[in-house]
A and B are shown apart, each in its own frame.
Chain A
Amino acid sequence: MTGFDRRGLLRGGAAASALALAAPALLRNAAAQGKPIRIGFPVPLTGAFGAEANDQVRAAQLAIKAFNEAGGFEGRQAELLVRDDKLNPGEAATRTLELIEKDQVNFLVGGLSAAVTLSINNVARERGVIYNSITQSDAINEAKDFGRTTFHEALNPHMTAGAVGRHVFPKFGKRVAFLSADYAYGHEMMRGFKRAGEASGIQVVADIRHPIGASDYSAFLPRIAALKPDVLCLCNFGRDQVVSIQQATEFGLKRTTKLVAPVLLFTSRKAGGEAFDGVIGGTSYYWRLEDTVPTAKAFNDRFRAAYNGAVPSDYGALGYAGVRSVLEAVKAAKSVETDKVVAAMEGLKADFYKGPQSFRKCDHQSIQSVLVVESKSKDMKTPDDVFTIVGTEGPDERFLRSCDELGHKA
């Protein structure tokens, strides 16, 4: 964390000149120590998820502000270093190197999209920097990608799809069709659904993969429509989800079939409009949680006050939680040293914005509630009132894949 690791920096004569050249950099970095607690925050400000990323930054800044107003840690203030990863894993890796090597950040929070979060994680864990990931991924829990400094604040597809499946299959029927984006994330969500479905004895009538980023789904839909399934699970994300739901509506699937999306984003719903009506999905946070959860109310109020009455989105809230978890752990550990903060995060019992949360020891996955929401465009309290919370699955380790399955040795 603190400057270069001088041990084993260089061995042998050939590298001596490089050491001489490195000296100015070492001096520069030494001067940066003992200053604010720096949190690097790589998110895709530009690119298809720019709206979500901007919301993440705004929410994260609230956590920083609250921490500083409460006096910081031993007089040290927190500072958020936002970097645009452009939704590109290569750019994210470069930016992460910049944050670690040049800016000497203490912690990293951020990432949106599985490929980017895995990229940041790979760079951070090799350098022993704590990284709290705030986007959905199953892979990051697995032993292969996990490092002791890896934390996962967001839900993962297994939890989300599982909760939605357990809610939907008993209610709407057992004949299920899948239309999934053909990449790891899509497969992970489908796996989560199928696992949940095994318990209710679902019958998979179609399992169709579409290429990620497809702008047209019409070629897949007649076949699904002909099968008249009870439930169609759309295992895709963002723009793919908006377009596939719009086109499924156009092909009249809603007449016979319940549309279900594992991760139903606030921003996607806003971009998709009425076509989303009746679609059920899962989310980590929806602002109407404030009706029942006091911390959600407090968080929303702070957000409204800071940003002209706007409400935080699901991914925005994760930006807040991701930063807050790290800062609370610093306070609990009374230190910014990696080992101590890791231990403090493992012991964190939080209720920051959505009810109780804690990190599981083996994979550092945040155990938390999953909300099941249904999209609506009528009876809206405000234009932001786009979902009804139809179910909540409380925080419970049962809903996670076991440490064994993930490859973590006990």
Chain B
Amino acid sequence: MSAQTTTPVGAAASPAASPAARPGAGRTGRWLALASRHRVALTLAFLVVFPWIAPYQALAANILVLGLYALGFNLLFGYTGLLSFGHAAFLGGGAYGSGIAIVHYGLHPVLALVAGTLLATLIAVAMGALAIRTRGIYFAMTTLALSMCVYYAFYQAESFTGGENGLRGINVPSLSLPGFRLDLLNPTVKYYAVLAVVGLAVWLFSRLLSSPFGAALEAIRENENRAQACGYDVRRMKLVAFVISGALCGLAGALQAIHLSIVPIETMHYSTSGQAVMMALLGGMGTFFGPFVGAATFSLLQDGLTTLTSHWQLFVGAIFIAFVLFLPLGIWGEVLARLRRAGW
């Protein structure tokens, strides 16, 4: 975060929304700039108190994991401008990777996280190398088609993945680390264990955005041809962004497998990819904190409405429609835009 970029707390979707582009934003951008410098600390501070606000801890841990998933997706969608419909392959790859490592090979949970992330990374390299040749909506469709091929491959490999029944038996009752042991059957301990990993990922993600590489990605998003003319190897950078994005989503999947102790085949289905798109858009694409806001909104909305009415889908659908019509920047994007207008 030492490298100064023009990115405020959430590099908002369009350059017009960034304070630098607004007249007279020099002084008023100070608070946001301050927040931006400490965005990791602020995000983590919120996540530390979050389980005490959430309806129950298992849901809070879900939101943490989905937030990381949306964060990884957002690197590609919000910061690089590539809409992928195939990220379920990475979430699922990570989940199956760590699950299989634990169930079939008895690996230590920490090593299983590494294994899951690696498997997702490998899938991302293969999918990315093929998909990066296409652009725009064709890129979205190519990633969707490729991820469904991955889905069916995992579906068919029943002896490893459990097929339609899903992978069961990822039971990690406790976590032995040098010097101490964590009881993961305690939901609070489990939440903070997951948060420790997510926090590390968020910090790395922030470092990445602040690096010259992060600036280059945004240059690609704003104008690919200009970025090319500036001497960036656009295709290679896109591929690297795709792979890092996949790795982050894979880590989220690996955590989810340990959290839920199962991996449903649905994890890899394209509807899970759609979920990433929805969470990123709800929260505010291209904002740092937006994915967590999106994940929390998405999950809390479903959870709350489900307990109220069996027709929850009616309300979820209507709320989505209202969001698109009236809050196009997403929740966090809108908050940032209002703060700026208010002269923060």
Contact = CB atoms under 8 A, between A and B. Distances in A.
A and B touch in the complex (CB under 8 A): yes
Interface of A: 4-5, 8-15, 18, 21-22, 24-25, 45-46, 50, 54, 84, 86, 88-90, 93-94, 97-98, 101-102, 114-115, 118-119, 121-123, 126-127, 139, 144-145, 183-185, 212
Interface string B2-20: 0000000000000000000
A127 B165 contact: no
Given A9-B183, A45-B310, A114 B165 contact: yes
A50 B181 contact: no
Q: In this complex, which of B52, B59, B162, B264 has the most chain A Cβ atoms within 10 angstroms of its Cβ? A: B264
A25 B185 CA distance: 14
Given A90-B262, A115-B166, A212-B164, A122 B171 contact: yes
Interface string B161-187: 011111011010110000111110111
Interface string B121-162: 000000000000000000000000000000000000010001
B58 A94 contact: yes
A384 to B, nearest CB: 23
A45 B168 CA distance: 23
Contacts of B256: 90
5 contacts: A5-B183, A18-B192, A21-B188, A54-B310, A119-B262
A218 to B, nearest CB: 21
B297 interface: no
Contacts of A126: 171, 173, 185, 261
A89 B256 CA distance: 13
Contact of B310 (A50, A101, A183): A50
B260 A94 contact: yes
Nearest to A5: B185
A15 B189 contact: yes
B186 A22 contact: yes
A102 B192 contact: no
A123 B61 CA distance: 15
A188 to B, nearest CB: 10
A115 B264 contact: yes
Contacts of B174: 8
- Chain A binding surface SS class: helix
Contacts of B162: 184
B315 interface: no
Interface residues of B, number: 41
Given A89-B264, A126-B173, 16 more contacts: A5-B183, A10-B182, A12-B181, A13-B180, A15-B180, A22-B186, A24-B52, A89-B266, A90-B256, A97-B187, A101-B57, A101-B187, A102-B55, A115-B164, A118-B168, A122-B171
A184 B264 contact: no
A400 to B, nearest CB: 20
Contact of B185 (A119, A127, A139): A127
Contacts of B165: 114-115, 118, 139, 183-185
Contacts of B57: 25, 101-102
B312 interface: yes
Nearest to A26: B188
Contacts of B52: 21, 24
Contacts of A139: 165
B306 interface: yes
A119 B264 contact: yes
B36 interface: no
Contacts of B164: 114-115, 183-185, 212
B80 interface: no
B245 interface: no
B262 A93 contact: yes
A78 B57 CA distance: 25
B313 interface: yes
B267 interface: yes
Interface string B287-331: 000000000000000000010001011000000000000000000
B180 A25 contact: no
Interface in B228-242: none
B84 interface: no
Nearest to B57: A101
B156 to A, nearest CB: 9
Q: In this complex, which of B56, B188, B261 has the most chain A Cβ atoms within 10 angstroms of its Cβ? A: B188
A90 B186 contact: no
A88 B173 contact: no
A74 B87 CA distance: 53
B266 A8 contact: no
A98 B163 contact: no
A321 to B, nearest CB: 23
Given A94-B62, A101-B56, A122 B261 contact: yes
Contacts of B163: 183-184
B120 interface: no
Nearest to A101: B187
